Structure 1
């Protein structure tokens, strides 16, 4: 590697941020996109669902291929595809074109999200994996904290298409630094005889009960957040009558919560195990999920909605970092496949949650809060199951 560890973490975090930035930055513009493209609200919400589904497929593809052919070639191909698709999104003239290009954009972005995590496991010691992933998540959260605020104000002056032009610029910068500053990190001792055997790693991982439960614990937590992402702009702007700029600030409050909790997680890892911190965060996620739906039925106030969604979303980064670290330590020799599978299932379930929010959306928060609650409780359930499997 030709970058210092500090700058390497920033670059890897920027790659992981492809997915969040591609969604968070343009959330405040969803109602505007619906008007601009003469589309109904549910069709615009599908632009999130198809993006998540594209990430799901892309991540399943890149992980095993990187175990076979190395991290760098598929990473560069993915970033290039992301750039081209972002241009297509910026030029879209109707909702169908936007949906197609968003799907292709996600296929490219999946490489960045998966392979950045695999590179971490390649070059850092196992005991440092959770801490490095937490630090990467902090950098990513700074970007996603700024993204909706930037997007909310940019659309006032330059329209929604500027969002995708900025994503093209991000892809160009990352492509340059990956090409010039990152060397191949795939361990020479990692000898995968065929592409088929690389994909067979998925079945090896899924057959391990603890691994499967760790993956699902993280995936359900993440899916609840994407239920919020899919429904919140319409719920806040139209149901609770906030402006797009106010919504951007409220959304960024959640990202600030993730940042604070992830920073605390990185510091606590010097004293507590990642398994203990995963347990704390999963319990808070489950309890917050219940509080979201109960407070909605009892009060239906913007204040309580903001409070309990904040508590739920703030621990998603802690759950992601610790569950991923434990998973990668179980499968160090299949780090690419393990990271790809975990993040793919995470986005796959996120796509399902997003679809159901859009499908059952009735201009009220009902669908969003119900799915968030179910996801929080499901994540806690699989954490408990993983602990039982580990003890036996």
Structure 2
């Protein structure tokens, strides 16, 4: 088996039949780390005697760790290559899983979730850098969309697994299942080649890193892509944070059925990512991103109006959330491709900073939903609608006019 894996690694990434599938597995750390335990959040609160806002700390801690940790892995990958940092991150993730399963209070659970996230984020941040290593801009956006299709099973399967575990065991076993996913991810990593050659690696000296971040943070278009997409992420994280309590406690959905409602949104994201992977090669990633943020803002406004008016009850809410979450398929791949396209020599650092902004702002949005919790769906809806409007404003302001197709960009 090891010889077979070595043969796969020796092939060019674009030629390997396992390349996109393996990258999809590594990208799945986010949904596997968050979505699997969502059905258990109300039970965690009861078992650890913690109110809703404190239970949501554990989710915000994961988002924060997932964001901050990317700065570490991005810098290490630009210096040492992509594969070794990913392997180290997977091991740290496994340690966090064990800590979560053994904790006895919500504070320590949040701390171990932070550790778990710092390790988990190595996979997604370096996968994006690997894609930039291999593909030019619009092709990279197309590949990111196709990869999201591959990893699309994770956010569908994860909450279903979590819900089924709760039928037969307590919430602690969910974290043992997450640890098992770490083993699968390590096997996927073994099939991948190193995509960052030594001739393009950068220094870890503080002044060099500081200059890299200065370059990124003073680039107007980079900020437009990275910060603008962060607010779409914030809306998604508001849904992830608030939906377990809204569906299970407000509308009485059984925990084992929560995953089905959650999975509807992922089906929508898969459909839109399929459309995006084809349309982006014709219209360009900037045009598809602009369409995405306009539609996301409109769907956010519709969500707030539906909740405020009580239109359609549970299914009215589910329909509006389905629309918003589906439209993120026009935003994430295109914004990341745009953020990375001008910085091939430090793609890991650029990917890490964008990911840190996305998950840090997402952590704040999850915390705000818990802080505003009032027993209704309005806090979740208001945060989603507000963040979508901010994303649209940032796209119009920082990126400005877009061209239909940018043939010459690499």
What is the TM-score when the length of structure 1 is the normalising length?
Answer: 0.95
Match of 2:299 in 1: 288
Distance 2:84 2:205 in 1: 15
1:58-207 alignment, distance < 5 Å: 58-178=69-189, 180-196=190-206, 197-207=208-218
1:29 aligns with 2:44: no
Give the C-alpha shift of residue 346 in structure 1: 0.4
Q: Secondary structure at the match of 1:181?
A: coil
- Is the Cα contact below 8 Å between 1:210 and 1:390 reproduced in 2? no
Unaligned runs of 5+ in 2: 1-8, 404-410
Please, which of 379, 383, 387 is the counterpart of residue 399 of structure 2? Answer: 387
Give the C-alpha shift of residue 373 in structure 1: 0.7
Distance 1:349 1:204 in 2: 21
Give the C-alpha shift of residue 339 in structure 1: 0.6
Match of 2:220 in 1: 209
Distance 2:280 2:156 in 1: 24
Match of 2:231 in 1: 220
1:210-249 alignment, distance < 5 Å: 210-249=221-260
Distance 1:361 1:127 in 2: 41
Distance 2:68 2:228 in 1: 20
Distance 2:10 2:316 in 1: 48
Alpha-carbon RMSD across the aligned residues, in angstroms, is: 1.7
- Is the Cα contact below 8 Å between 2:67 and 2:360 reproduced in 1? yes
Q: Secondary structure at the match of 2:195?
A: coil
Q: Which moved more, 1:285-294 or 1:296-305?
A: 296-305
Please, which of 309, 334, 354 is the counterpart of residue 346 of structure 2? Answer: 334
Unaligned runs of 5+ in 1: none
Q: Secondary structure at the match of 2:152?
A: helix
Match of 2:5 in 1: none
Cα–Cα, structure 1 residues 61 and 381, in superposed 2: closer, same or farther, change >3 Å? same
- Is the Cα contact below 8 Å between 1:122 and 1:187 reproduced in 2? no
- Is the Cα contact below 8 Å between 2:136 and 2:341 reproduced in 1? no
Distance 2:83 2:280 in 1: 30
1:278 aligns with 2:289: yes
Distance 1:375 1:136 in 2: 25
- Is the Cα contact below 8 Å between 1:2 and 1:181 reproduced in 2? no
1:318 aligns with 2:330: yes
- Superimposed CA distance per residue, residues 110-156 of structure 1 (whole angstroms, 9 cap, x where no aligned partner): 11110111111112344421111111111121121111122112211
Give the C-alpha shift of residue 350 in structure 1: 0.1
- Is the Cα contact below 8 Å between 2:160 and 2:257 reproduced in 1? no
Q: Which moved more, 1:292-301 or 1:305-314?
A: 292-301
1:252 aligns with 2:232: no
Match of 2:370 in 1: 358
- Is the Cα contact below 8 Å between 1:152 and 1:244 reproduced in 2? yes
- Is the Cα contact below 8 Å between 1:64 and 1:199 reproduced in 2? no
Distance 1:229 1:177 in 2: 27
- Superimposed CA distance per residue, residues 26-85 of structure 1 (whole angstroms, 9 cap, x where no aligned partner): 111111111222222211111100000111110121112211222122211111000111
Match of 1:303 in 2: 315
Cα–Cα, structure 1 residues 292 and 205, in superposed 2: closer, same or farther, change >3 Å? same
Distance 1:286 1:6 in 2: 37
What is the TM-score when the length of structure 2 is the normalising length?
Answer: 0.91
- Is the Cα contact below 8 Å between 1:210 and 1:389 reproduced in 2? no
Give the C-alpha shift of residue 294 in structure 1: 1.1
Distance 2:270 2:236 in 1: 15
